[in-house]
Structure 1
């Protein structure tokens, strides 16, 4: 089961990032404008954010295997549509279908908790969590290589084949859930959360295009605040809520969620900022002038870090506790971004900084699900991990908006390049997130407290 779930999680991570190298070329491929093309990423993020907590709750209620297969099917269907068309409207719809794959990770973690012997659960979940970084780091060079040497539709034919294979393997080897909560699905809560997330994430992703002080951005942000408040009241009054806010407000659950939000921001910065720095022309400001493929290959250091330190994270947690692992991860993140922030450094030092920051990401990402494992009941495991993955997505989305705004404010040479200070500021913002993660680790429960909850 574990290899199937791991490949599935890598597959969904690739789906989230595979469009990034394609974006500059998509207007020429589709005949659409840059604003419409940007929705090829935005639609995936939005659907992923909305569907992750919903699929997590449904997995607890009606069966984890069933919801996992639905997620794989939607991802594969989205890939097939992308392979068959160049129509921008259909592509945006298909990329939205692929966003449903964000639910694969929390459902997979819940399956492992249910079916594996207790002594194997922590390490397996830690390794599964690391696949998010592995898929992200692999997806960019994978897409860049195909774009450089072949027709871009081939990329989605390959992912369609992978998706069909993973879905078939999951149907064969994954057993149906023994633990189900049953009950009525909170449709009102699902609609309310979806509306609130859309009103939050759309202006974040489109703010640099619409203008951060434009009426559209301010209105949707205000609507998000109102909708989240109304949704929270509705959830607290509901006997069978979509998200159990009373459980989520416990310090043992709230602290891992805060870490997920901040590390989601910092992790995406390691990929997004560095990719732009490596491809930026040194003749028009800061940069290294690498091709898409060369820049993507530099990101492979993050994949190696995530693979190696997934196992290390579980060993540290077993010996010293999750709090120490989170603190160590935050320090690695801080160290990596401090190296990143040094202007004019040689290329090898950029790759080293990518590796160090990815080590920190791996230590934190692999530990958060283990913390939730001991902090929530088995019947709410998929839903709790779904919220945690949702907050990672929100962190990454906010990072994308912040980086876009910082870089746009520091362009040089008539917009052809970026000033050195742009990248320094962006990296230091990520370093600030690492500091907050380190501080929040003090509020994490001790191993003794987690043991009492588990008992």
Structure 2
């Protein structure tokens, strides 16, 4: 069934609003972790599961919903996801103890994972000529919401109470009748679901993310074993959870790996910046949010322009620009560390513009190289890699920041001093972005000549 232009416009607007709710829900709780710990008298290791548990379930759910979208109609999956997301939000608002709060966050993640996962599949399935523009709107919404989240969390948690944060995502239930009206009806496709493969994927992702965040080596061993069993399994069943043909597609794997590197740079920027601002500038939570806010606003504006540019110039062209902007932005953050806040904010602004362009160009490129049967799990793996890149960035750079006494700056444009560790980290991030740019450029140049 072909969607009418008005239904398409309404659907994109609704997707953008729902994505804002889910992304904000993932970031605004960061600033209220101390308040939650105080409410339930929790140790830091306990309260951290408010975020860790959410991210863990959310990451696994992103690839699961992607695969289910190849079998179950999107309308039904979105309805289930939004119901779980809203119910978990109401339960969180009413939570009388820590156990109920954790259950609420897990329910939120189980439902919320459907929205970005299916949000990237809907344009691939129903938008043909202006697909890049739609991906640009979705990606710019994600970038904008990630910058607004900490500010919203600080304001609501500061003036009211952390429980009131749950009322924001609870309102997502209002979108259910609209989605059911605007999304076309689809037939249930008869396809055998590889449940054992799905379990192996869940074990692999969960153990890998837990190892990265907790550094328990037995979890790494479990992750390696699960991955080995998964590879063995998918090559020996008729309808595997992840088709090995997809993973053998070099264009797909190179594009995914490029996105992984670029996204890890952005997550590294967002993770390190608040710590640096508090350490070097003694900035408040609101001050840190205000430094990020102009970049988030610019990402929202330029991301939509980038989507139009993708439709005109192509995904490869925009992806190169995105990686270049990210590399330049984080390099100048390295240069201006401990310098004026205006120069630092300008560098953050440049890097933030590249983020939605990177996401939308990658999503559009992937959507054109995937067959209809591969779209669900292919876009699901794209979302999963984004989460894993964030976990790796936070864990690796968090461990480096634990080192004390580093005063030598490897950036020749920055002086030595106590700020050197931050300058060095951002220089490394810029090198990663440049490496991703040259790897992507070299591969697609060879492909073009071939």
Q: Shared fold (TM-score greater than 0.5)?
A: yes
Pairing 1:269-348 to 2, within 5 Å after superposition: 269-280=268-279, 287-342=280-335, 343-348=337-342
In the alignment, does 2:115 pair up with 1:107? no
Find the partner of 2:179 among 170, 176, 181: 170
> TM-score if structure 1 supplies the norm length?
0.88
More moved, 189-198 vs 10-19: 10-19
- Asked if the contact 1:326–1:441 (Cα under 8 Å) also holds between the matched residues in 2, the reply is no
Give the match for residue 201 of structure 2: 193
Find the partner of 2:145 among 112, 135, 142: 135
Describe the superposition over 1:257-288 as per-residue Cα deviations: whole angstroms up to 9, x where unpaired. Answer: 112221221121222211222233xxxxxx21
Mapped partners of 1:181, 1:425: distance in 2: 52
**Secondary structure in structure 2 of the residue aligned to 1:93:** helix
Give the match for residue 210 of structure 1: none
Mapped partners of 1:382, 1:48: distance in 2: 16
Describe the superposition over 1:180-200 as per-residue Cα deviations: whole angstroms up to 9, x where unpaired. Answer: 643111100110011111111
Give the match for residue 284 of structure 1: none
Mapped partners of 1:74, 1:426: distance in 2: 39
- Asked if the contact 1:255–1:443 (Cα under 8 Å) also holds between the matched residues in 2, the reply is no
Find the partner of 2:56 among 35, 43, 46: 46
Give the match for residue 355 of structure 2: 361
Which structure 1 segments of 5+ residues have no match?
208-216, 281-286, 413-417, 450-455
**Secondary structure in structure 2 of the residue aligned to 1:241:** coil
- Asked if the contact 1:134–1:306 (Cα under 8 Å) also holds between the matched residues in 2, the reply is yes
Which structure 2 segments of 5+ residues have no match?
1-10, 407-416
In the alignment, does 2:403 pair up with 1:409? yes
Mapped partners of 1:132, 1:249: distance in 2: 30
What is the RMSD computed on CA atoms of the aligned residues? 2.2
More moved, 166-175 vs 433-442: 166-175
Describe the superposition over 1:46-91 as per-residue Cα deviations: whole angstroms up to 9, x where unpaired. Answer: 1011111111111111111211222222221221122111522222
- Asked if the contact 1:59–1:66 (Cα under 8 Å) also holds between the matched residues in 2, the reply is no
Mapped partners of 1:440, 1:10: distance in 2: 32
1:237 positional shift: 1.8
1:147 positional shift: 1.7
Give the match for residue 350 of structure 1: 344
Pairing 1:125-164 to 2, within 5 Å after superposition: 125-161=135-171, 163-164=172-173
In the alignment, does 2:256 pair up with 1:246? no
Q: 1:321 to 1:113 in 2, by over 3 A?
A: closer
Total equivalences in the alignment? 426
Mapped partners of 2:167, 2:97: distance in 1: 16
Pairing 1:205-244 to 2, within 5 Å after superposition: 205-207=213-215, 217-244=216-243
**Secondary structure in structure 2 of the residue aligned to 1:233:** helix
Mapped partners of 2:144, 2:176: distance in 1: 20
In the alignment, does 2:42 pair up with 1:32? yes
Q: 1:410 to 1:131 in 2, by over 3 A?
A: farther
Mapped partners of 2:166, 2:121: distance in 1: 29
In the alignment, does 2:378 pair up with 1:388? no
1:102 positional shift: 2.8
Give the match for residue 87 of structure 2: 77
1:445 positional shift: 4.7
- Asked if the contact 1:51–1:103 (Cα under 8 Å) also holds between the matched residues in 2, the reply is yes
- Asked if the contact 1:6–1:131 (Cα under 8 Å) also holds between the matched residues in 2, the reply is yes
**Secondary structure in structure 1 of the residue aligned to 2:338:** coil
Mapped partners of 1:344, 1:228: distance in 2: 43
